[in-house]
Amino acid sequence: MALQATRAAAKTACSRLSNCSRQVIKSSVSTPAIVIDSLEKWFPPAYSGWRAFLQPFAAPTSSALRGISLEVAEGEAVALLGANGAGKTTLLRVLATLLLPTRGRAQIAGHDTVSDPAAVRRQLGHHAGRDLGFYSRLTGRQNLRFFGRLNHLSDAIIEERTRALGERFQLGEALDRQTRSLSSGTIQRLSLLRALLHQPRVLLLDEPTRSLDAIAASEFRRFLKTEVLAGHGTSVLFASHSLPEIELLADRVAILQEGALIAFDTVAGLKAKAGASSLEQVFFRLTGRPVPPDVEARPA
Amino acid sequence: MMRTLRDLWLFFQRDLRIAGTYRSPFVLEAIEALFGVAMFYYVARFVDSPELRQALPQGSTYFAYSLVGFVFFDYLNAALDSFDRSLLEARDTGTLEPLLVTQVSLPLILAGSAVYPFAATTLRIVVYLGWGAALFHFPLGSANWIGVIAVLFATLLAFSGLGILSAAYLLLFKRGNPAKWFLLGISSVVGGMLFPISILPDWLQFIARINPVTYALEAMRAVLLGGASLLVIGRPLLVLLVFAAILLPVSMAAFAWALRRTKTTGTLTHS
């Protein structure tokens, strides 16, 4: 029900706006790569002391996601925008099968994340946005080979893709150094490479350019737009606090506030809805915050 | 089946590569084993007597008896420790999350991560017994090696169930290894590690008889020191397999429940 309403809202927005992108129109008619329907996630409180023994059995009391419904079409990029604690990472973790939803359902390429997590993981590339996640005594290349083979890629394919993507991400010699000696930005690039290695149909990225320098971030965005989205037709759901990045990459933007989806539209659609000239103004207005004067005065 | 074996091999290769980056422990452990064996040899010379030899099963020397007990305990330790240690390491190094979004299931990740510790422990046992045979007349000549492999395999199956239960506990409560604490603690007294259980009071002997460690050690000494055939060790072997048949499905179910629970509470990667 909620899903149909979202779909209808997207169609209305598209018909109203002349610059609605091709992908958005496609999203309302083709098979969605990601379907999220009335998704809720509740967490139990964190116990300490002797009560920590009861932690595994504690009842969930605080909501992290509240009835989220949205779809991402094949080849579409959707950005998750929200303040810290809005539920962006929780949503990505539910889709990555690392968390079980409390209510509602989520599907990746037609596979349910709860009843068929193995099939979901076959379609999925996940970048958690952290500086950890590699074996520090192994080289970047050895790490990638290990994770690539766990995704059932042959050594030849892993080697070929590592070389090609390594060049794109300017990893160069870093691939043959132990990961303990790499900077956090290089680890991030390695993690993005790992997420892309098996050419997944759906890519979940949590703050993909957070630790990257300006050049690497720009190069990654260009790669994502031209090769991953346009070239391979991969669907991308990414969380980001960088508004220019969202404007550049996202076909649509989902704005989350305290676990609820408060808006889901194209950047142009959101601007029209909020009567704003920039995405920054949109964010302030739709989340009910007063727009600071400098943001109000800033030209689009 | 082939894919599972291939995945297990991948984890073994990973751990071997990581271990290979630390070269000195191999040499240090070999030297440590030499000191350990020497200590047991001289303790045995101090306590050995015709009366003691008579009390020992298989009529072996106290040195051989205690060395088998000591090195075999290392193996039990690995079985009880490997699963939750691999989980702990993956969690603390942040590799658990990337592993969990690959196409390999968590039980297989744990099993794979236990392959190298088992192999390393087996190698350590070989080094201990090798030093014993080369320098202190440990009687390797009469061993039934097929029997040794059969006992190791049955022990591995029986105690892996406890190791998996321990990993389930770690998933839920984040720290501690109750199976190791309980079983190794009890077994150091009533498992027949350094002395035969026949010298214990009746009630402790009863506990020893329901402890799988007792059967594992009994069978291992029989094949290693006495060269017993598989037929002779049939009873302890059967007891170990019964333990495995009960513990493995129970532990897998408990682990699956704990995994589901931590994905529900959002504490899977918490420390």
What CATH number does domain A2-43+61-123+200-297 carry, 3.40.50.300, 3.30.300.30, 3.30.830.10, 3.30.470.10?
3.40.50.300
pLDDT at A20 > cutoff 70? no
Of B7, B95, B260, the CB nearest to A100: B260
Mean pLDDT calculated for residue range B197-219: 89
pLDDT at A2 > cutoff 50? no
Mean pLDDT calculated for residue range B154-181: 84
Note whether A103 and B266 are within 8 A (CB). no
Chain B residues 19-48 with CB within 8 Å of chain A: 21-22
Of A90, A132, A142, the CB nearest to B94: A132
Q: Name the least confident of A188-197, A201-210, B169-178.
A: B169-178
Mean pLDDT calculated for residue range A244-264: 95
Q: Is B266 on the interface with A (CB under 8 A)?
A: yes
pLDDT at B136 > cutoff 80? yes
Search chain A and give the residue with CA nearest B16: A138
Confidence of residue A147 (pLDDT cuts 50, 70, 90): very high
The C-alpha torsion from B37 through B41 and B42 to B48, rounded to 10°, is: 150
pLDDT of residue B29: 84
Mean pLDDT calculated for residue range B71-89: 85
**Would the CB atoms of A55 and B267 count as touching at under 8 Å?**
yes
Strands A32-43 and A62-73: antiparallel
**Would the CB atoms of B98 and A118 count as touching at under 8 Å?**
no
Instruction: Identify all chain A residues contacting B14, using CB atoms and an 8 Å cutoff.
Output: 135, 138, 146
pLDDT at A18 > cutoff 70? no
Mean pLDDT calculated for residue range B48-58: 73
Of B22, B103, B269, the CB nearest to A121: B103
Report the distance separating Cα B150 and Cα B156, nearest Å: 10
Q: Average pLDDT of chain B?
A: 87
Give residues with Cβ within 8 angstroms of A145, minimum separation 6: A155, A158, A159, A162
Instruction: Identify all chain B residues contacting A151, using CB atoms and an 8 Å cutoff.
Output: 102-103
**Would the CB atoms of A136 and B103 count as touching at under 8 Å?**
no
Report the distance separating Cα B27 and Cα B140, nearest Å: 23
- To the nearest whole Å, the CA of B90 is away from the closest chain A CA by 9
Burial per residue of A149-180, b for 16 or more beta-carbon CB atoms within 10 angstroms, e otherwise: bbbebeeeebeebbeebbebbebeebbeebbe
Instruction: Identify all chain A residues contacting B94, using CB atoms and an 8 Å cutoff.
Output: 130, 132-134
Q: Is A177 on the interface with B (CB under 8 A)?
A: no
Of A60, A135, A152, the CB nearest to B95: A135
Confidence of residue A43 (pLDDT cuts 50, 70, 90): very high
Cα Rg of chain B (Å, integer): 20
pLDDT at A149 > cutoff 80? yes
- To the nearest whole Å, the CA of B262 is away from the closest chain A CA by 7
Reference B132, options B73, B64, B66, B75; nearest CA is B64
Mean pLDDT calculated for residue range B72-92: 85
pLDDT of residue A7: 44
Search chain A and give the residue with CA nearest B103: A151
pLDDT of residue A11: 41
Mean pLDDT calculated for residue range B212-237: 90
pLDDT at A6 > cutoff 70? no
Q: Is A29 exposed, middle or buried (0-12, 13-18, 19+ CB in 10 A)?
A: exposed
Mean pLDDT calculated for residue range A249-265: 95
**Would the CB atoms of A55 and B99 count as touching at under 8 Å?**
no
Give residues with Cβ within 8 angstroms of B64, minimum separation 6: B132, B138, B139, B225
Q: Name the least confident of A125-134, A188-197, B95-104, B143-152.
A: A125-134
Q: Residue ranges of the domains in chain B?
A: 2-265
ipTM over 0.90: no
pLDDT of residue A124: 94
Of A90, A121, A134, the CB nearest to B102: A121
Q: Residue ranges of the domains in chain A?
A: 2-43+61-123+200-297
A9 φ, ψ (degrees, to nearest 5): -65, -40
Confidence of residue A227 (pLDDT cuts 50, 70, 90): confident
Q: Pick the residue with more confidence: A60 or A99?
A: A99
Chain A residues 115-154 with CB within 8 Å of chain B: 118, 121-122, 124, 126, 128, 130, 132-138, 142, 146-147, 149-152
Confidence of residue A299 (pLDDT cuts 50, 70, 90): low
Q: Average pLDDT of chain A?
A: 86
pLDDT at A3 > cutoff 70? no
Search chain A and give the residue with CA nearest B264: A100
pLDDT at A75 > cutoff 50? yes
Burial per residue of B87-125, b for 16 or more beta-carbon CB atoms within 10 angstroms, e otherwise: bbebbeebbbbbbbbbbbbbebbbbbbbbbbbebbbebb
CA dist A230 to A167, A201, A238, B212, B269, Å?
20, 12, 16, 61, 34
Q: Is A98 on the interface with B (CB under 8 A)?
A: yes
Report the distance separating Cα A289 and Cα A286, nearest Å: 8
**Would the CB atoms of B94 and A137 count as touching at under 8 Å?**
no
pLDDT at A196 > cutoff 90? yes
pLDDT of residue B100: 92
Element housing A252 (H / E): strand A252-257
pLDDT at A8 > cutoff 50? no
Mean pLDDT calculated for residue range A119-129: 92
Long-range contact list for A273-276, CB < 8 A, 24+ apart? A273/A13
Confidence of residue A71 (pLDDT cuts 50, 70, 90): very high
The token pair at A79 is 């950005």
pLDDT at A29 > cutoff 50? no
Q: Is A97 on the interface with B (CB under 8 A)?
A: yes
